[in-house]
Amino acid sequence: MKQETFVYFIGTAGAGKSTLAQRFYEWTNVKGIDAILVNLDPGAENLPYDPDVDIRDWISLKEVMESHDLGPNGAQVACADLLAVNTDDVKESIESFKTDYVFVDTPGQLELFVFRNSGRIITNTMQPNQSAVCYLIDPILAKSASGFSSQLLLSLFTNFRLDLPQFNVLSKADLLEEEDLNQVLSWADDAYALESAVQTEQSSMYRKINEDIVRMIIDFQSHAKLIPTGTTDFMGIEDMYTLIQLLFAGGEDVLSD
């Protein structure tokens, strides 16, 4: 049986998960690699792609709101739990494509997938030995040392919760000024430089917390490797593909020559 490689796109709301998943999918088409797109956000309204497998075929946010008399937030939580109920059906639909890559666009709100049991149930059911998490770091939030450290902390929590191979990307990096981009990348390469930058910020309880966060990041080495990606010219996509191949060393590289 063909063993697909699953890539889960995870990040805070607005980080660009759907766009990056679409760009990676377009890149595989250019390179002659079989791939499909999976939407796991029941509340998605305007996706930039036409998903091959869509959780909205099984779960409707609007119907959950109406049938359970819930507001949008409560319905999102209920839908997140319903994801686990439909995991087997989603898996069967994915397997019918017999593809090489499965790009999974997760719910817009990170906590709905990462901090609820449904996320781990899904990742454990699909292809746990051939799955990776692509964690998106929002470039606007990453421009300050404290903002970047907070983003890395969420990435660390995601890694802890899902227990899958994981790499970080700086989404929409082409929106940053060159100076800001180089600064963020330097912090990613050297966590001690990030620690120094945090220590130069205005003294406060918030700064002290961020200093502790950076020390934890250093201990877990969760700052390692940050791939800048963008919305033009497939920026960073080939680096992502190469890293995924390295994560699953020994697997066949399906890239066409």
User: Which fold would CATH assign to domain 5-247?
Assistant: Rossmann fold (3.40.50)
Q: Is 174 exposed, middle or buried (0-12, 13-18, 19+ CB in 10 A)?
A: middle
As a whole number of angstroms, the distance between CA 69 and CA 227 comes to: 43
| Closest to 134 (Cα-Cα) out of 40, 14, 49, 241 | 241
Q: Tell me, what's the pLDDT at 125?
A: 94
Q: Tell me, what's the pLDDT at 181?
A: 94
Q: pLDDT digit of tens for each residue in the chain (257 aa)?
A: 568 999 999 999 999 999 999 999 999 999 999 999 999 998 888 899 999 999 999 998 888 888 888 888 888 889 888 888 899 999 999 999 999 999 999 998 899 899 999 899 999 999 889 999 999 999 999 999 989 988 998 999 999 999 999 999 999 999 999 999 999 999 998 888 888 998 888 777 778 888 888 888 877 765 567 999 998 889 999 999 999 998 886 555 656 55
CA 70, chain centre distance (Å): 28
| Closest to 59 (Cα-Cα) out of 132, 124, 5, 122 | 122
End-to-end CA distance of the chain: 24
Q: Tell me, what's the pLDDT at 81?
A: 87
Q: Tell me, what's the pLDDT at 233?
A: 85
Q: What kind and span of H or E run contains 9?
A: strand 5-11
The structure's pTM equals 0.92
Length of the chain: 257
The domain limits of the chain are 5-247
